[in-house]
Each structure stands twice: as C-alpha cells, then as structure tokens.
Amino acid sequence: MSKYNEQYYFMFNDHKNAPSFIAPMSKSAQRPWTYEKLSRSYGPMFFENAFREEDRQENIQQSLYDVMVSASYFLLHKRIHEKLQLLEIDNMQFFPTVYIDDNDHWHEQYMLLNIFGMLDCLDVVKSEIEPPSTEPLLLDEDEDEDEDEDEKHDIQEFYLSEEVLDRIEEERRLVFKLAKSRKPYTLIHKKIKDILVESDCTGARFIKVSDYTFGDQYD
C-alpha cells in the first residue's frame, strides 16, 4: 500500500445530504479556467445551477452550500477560503466568483478553486485498471484534444506513486488533479480535508484513496 493512499482524499459532491450541481455560465465557460491561471482584469467567474431549467419545471430550489461542485472543480465559501488562502500550492489559485441562483439572485461569497495543470502520480502498474474502453474519450475542459487516448485509464482502485510524490514538497501538492484518468478527479491532502471538516463545511464528501473503489461516490 502506498503511504500516499492514506494521506490523500477524493472530494465529491455530497449527493445525499447536500446535492449541488453547478456549471459555468456561457461567458465564463469560454475563459481559460481549468488549464491556466485566470486574470482578474476580466472580472469574476459566474456559475449557475447546472439543472436550472429542469429544477424550475419540477419546482425544486437548489440550496447554497459551503462547497459547490462542478465536476472535479469547486466553489468554496469565503469563510473556508480564509483558512486556505495562505497555502502556496502549485497550479492552483483562488478566484473571485459569483453564483447566480434560480431566482437570479447574486451570491458573491464564493471563490473558485481553479486548478490548472495535472499531476502525473498514478502508478498504473499497481493500480487496478479496467480493460481499454471502446467508449469515446470525454475530455475535461483543460485537456489537450491531441492527447493519446491510450494514456487514459478507467481506474477501479488507485495507487499513488511514492517515487513521484516524494520528489515534491508536501506544501506544493496539497491539492491536485490526477493525470492519466479518463474521468476527472481532484485529490486533496489530509491537511486540507481536516480544515474543511473542522470548519463544518457543507456540500462535500471525502473518501480516502485507500478506501475508494469506483462508484463509491454515488453510495
């Protein structure tokens, strides 16, 4: 067992207790978020309920949470951001964000956790990998369309490389996106998870890498 499988966690939407599904609004989606640092000169990012129209038709009102999830990207309430903002993590920035709810009210208390670039620290030999899929590869927003699909894997159980992570200072790898996975995953260090848990944050669920098998995020 990799020692890092005990130190890192997946952060997922808390489907049962605080479900939220958000998406960037059209102009924000066109900005280079997820693959490079955002410039404040173009103003904040804007997000909305990803199922806005469907929820309106069913008279469902999406609630606000401390952590709002968009695939493997997250909006964090500023009270959480205040506890994390001094961290110097490679390829990550906190960016001002406005969430517009289903009633068109603006909520400016969020910061986007913008993670650009990916960390290639998956040991594909020791991980449990499914046979190559015949399904077309669905690229994340930050991925190169020319990237070889053979380098992407459907992963059932993860094994994080000690050799790779040992070479990176802990403070600079507290949060990262995982390379070589066909599905987007963000991993956070136990130090970050503990801060979020101690802050009684709502909206997120944490599963340790050593405990995770694909599909657990839906349980």
What's residue 179's pLDDT? 92
Q: Contact 74/185 with Cβ under 8 angstroms?
A: no
What's residue 75's pLDDT? 94
Q: Which is it for strands 45-49 and 92-100: parallel, antiparallel or unpaired? A: parallel
What's residue 213's pLDDT? 84
Give, in order, the Cα–Cα distances in Å from 76 to each of 85, 110, 113, 131, 210. 11, 5, 7, 36, 25
C-alpha to C-alpha distance for 215 and 37, rounded to whole angstroms: 31
What's residue 23's pLDDT? 93
Instruction: Quick: pLDDT tens for 85-136.
Output: 877 787 889 999 999 999 999 999 999 999 888 899 999 999 998 875 545 4
What's residue 137's pLDDT? 42
User: Which residues does the chain have with pLDDT short of 70?
Assistant: 132-150
